[in-house]
Structure 1
Amino acid sequence: MNAGGGSIAGMIRMLALFLPALFPSWRFFPAVEPSPRIEVAHVGAGPAEAWRAFRPPPARLTAAQMIARLFWSPRRNEDLYLASCAERIIADGRDHARREILKRIRAATPEARGRALRFRLVTVHREGERLVERTVYVSPIDAPAGDPPEPAS
């Protein structure tokens, strides 16, 4: 009887050690905060900078699209990388993260090539019933190589 009881206890102990590997705890996040959104403006495009979202999330996804994204989603992977870069900028102002975001904006936006631009990071959170946007970072003007930035008006 002891042999059977000991092996069950051993299996339960082993299962208790194995389950956290399958289902990790999310307590390693100190806090869950809003993910920053990236907005872009072309400098000198008009009297005021017109900010627009860079790669906004799709308004709707079908069930088939959601399932497909579980297995193949290179653009979403890059969006997660950009969110990570944005969080690094907010945390400690890393210049490498700023350059990575600018490089990807220029590569993904044909109208950004050859033009001065800047980006900003905006967080959105809920206060009661309304959504509140807060700008947490505005990049310096980035002119294409060889072009001086136009003065801000």
Structure 2
Amino acid sequence: MLSHMDGGTAGARVREVGWLAATLTALLLALLLEHYVIHEQMILPWIAVSPEVPPWMLGAQVVPEIIVCFLFGWRLRGLGWIVIYGAAAAALRQSFYALLTRIGASGHPETLFGPPSEFARTAPLVAVMYFMAFGLASMGAREPGPLPGARSRP
């Protein structure tokens, strides 16, 4: 399967798997930051005093993941790698949140369906979101020069 994704050599594919491992490591660090700093130290204390969370706090929860997607996604070439990165990132994220629910982490109550069903229900949507993020990052580096449709100044 990997041999037909970018036409690269076996060595190039092995390097790409190394980059995938680095991406997943960075994503895990981003998820830890999101949960233990942003969620537990900012959002949960805010909820204790106010019923509504400011939108910037909710946005701050996904910014670390988006940064990882763009830092590692800009160099991706080929739809196959973008799909693999998106699926692997979604599996990691959903497993992380299932583990938080399983251990009873604050702000992650047991759901009606439980972690396995929740994982199966939400993982495809999360994979599509990661696919879009990695795809946008990849598209941003494909063509050198100004963006298509941008006007140049004289």
Q: TM-score, normalised by structure 2?
A: 0.28
Higher-strand-fraction structure? 1
TM-score normalised by length of structure 1: 0.28
Higher alpha-carbon Rg: 1
